[in-house]
Amino acid sequence: MTAPSESTSFFGRLRERLSRSATRLTGDLAGLFRGRKIDAELLDDLEARLIGADVGVTATQEILEQLRASVARRELADVDALMAALRRQLLAILEPCAKPLVIDRSRRPYVIMVVGVNGSGKTTSIGKLAQRLTGEGRRVMLAAGDTFRAAAAEQLDIWAERSGAEIVQQAGGADPGAVVFDAVRAAQARGVDVLIADTAGRLHGQTHLMDELKKIRRVIQRVDPGAPDEVLLVLDANQGQNALAQAKEFHAAVGVTGLVLTKLDGTARGGVVVAIARAMQLPIRFIGIGEQAGDFGEFSAEAFVDALLGTGPPLAGGGVK
């Protein structure tokens, strides 16, 4: 079997989809600077482009400070050298966060608690993760802990059927802690490998709702003191700097251990991934670039930076214009 070309691979599609957005970082960044000398005006233009791409003021200032120092030392002879230096700096920020989710087989069930605000793509990400894990031959159970959104349990039930996962759910309006409690017990009794617990979408600024997430975590620990093994926070990349604010508050409330960044297609600027990595230094487990199960993959710092900057080998067929 021949290997898929980059244009059909996960990160090939990411590059194609980032290229559809006029607000992505590149916007033919190299072309914008081609033929220009590296001077204060060019660096100011680069700074504006980074901030406009949601890299954030703090991360952008740090990047530009290092670039300006390199220019002052005459280490960057031309725009190509500048782009290479920018790529190295972005990789230095992102590579420490490129840590895939590793399921500890000695933990059965391995409990994953999934949190996030409404509309972040949380339930869909759970379904895609379940499909990924069952595809690896693992026995997976889903806990329909979002009992407040009417369609949440139905949506999760569809993903359970599609992926071959089991599901534990109760009537709408049931106590989410009770649902998750029952699910952990059931997963233990049935010898399930991985339990993924959905939770109701939270507005990160509403303290009483965040307190309920803390309660769910305590309920899980009542059944299994070592759980949850992973607390995944799902963030919508289109939220820009709001996504960073959400990450900080969810982490303070429930101790986030990994991130899933969704909707990195169409209008997402992509730079917010850099801002979050720099500020939070949390593992980025997965990214999502669309609705299909194949539009969900592990995060690779190098592939992501090349998608963001338009560097690396050209896309087969010239990419999407």
**What element of type H or E holds 113?**
strand 110-115
Residue 314 lies in a domain: no
Mean of all residue pLDDT scores within the chain:
86
- Could you give the count of Cα atoms lying within 13 Å of 144 in the half-sphere of its Cβ? 24
Residue 89 lies in a domain: yes
At residue 107, φ and ψ (nearest 5 deg) are -100, 110
Q: What is the model's pLDDT at position 19? A: 65
Residue 310 lies in a domain: no
pTM of the model: 0.89
Length of the chain in residues, anyone?
321
Instruction: Give me 109's structure tokens.
Output: 């069930």
- Specify whether 208 is located in the same domain as 62: no
Burial label, 310 (beta-carbon count in 10 A; 0-12, 13-18, 19+): buried
Q: What is the model's pLDDT at position 260? A: 97
Among 97, 123, 152, residue at a domain's last position: 97
103's CB contacts (< 8 A; 6+ apart) are 110, 133, 138, 193, 194
Residue 102 lies in a domain: no
- Specify whether 129 is located in the same domain as 76: no
Cβ atoms 239, 98 nearer than 8 A: no
CA 10-57-279 angle, 5° bins? 60
Q: What CATH number is attached to the domain comprising 115?
A: 3.40.50.300
Residue 261 lies in a domain: yes
- Specify whether 120 is located in the same domain as 218: yes
For residues 185 and 220, what is the distance between their CA atoms, to the nearest angstrom? 9
Of 238 and 316, more confident: 238
93-110, pLDDT tens digit by residue? 999 999 999 999 999 999
For residues 278 and 231, what is the distance between their CA atoms, to the nearest angstrom? 20
Q: What is the model's pLDDT at position 180? A: 96
Q: What residue numbers bound the domain in which 221 lies?
A: 110-300
3-state secondary structure of 9: coil
Residues paired with residue 284 on neighbouring β-strands, in sequence order: 259
Residue 308 lies in a domain: no
Q: What is the largest CA-CA distance in the chain?
A: 67
How many structural domains are present in the chain?
2
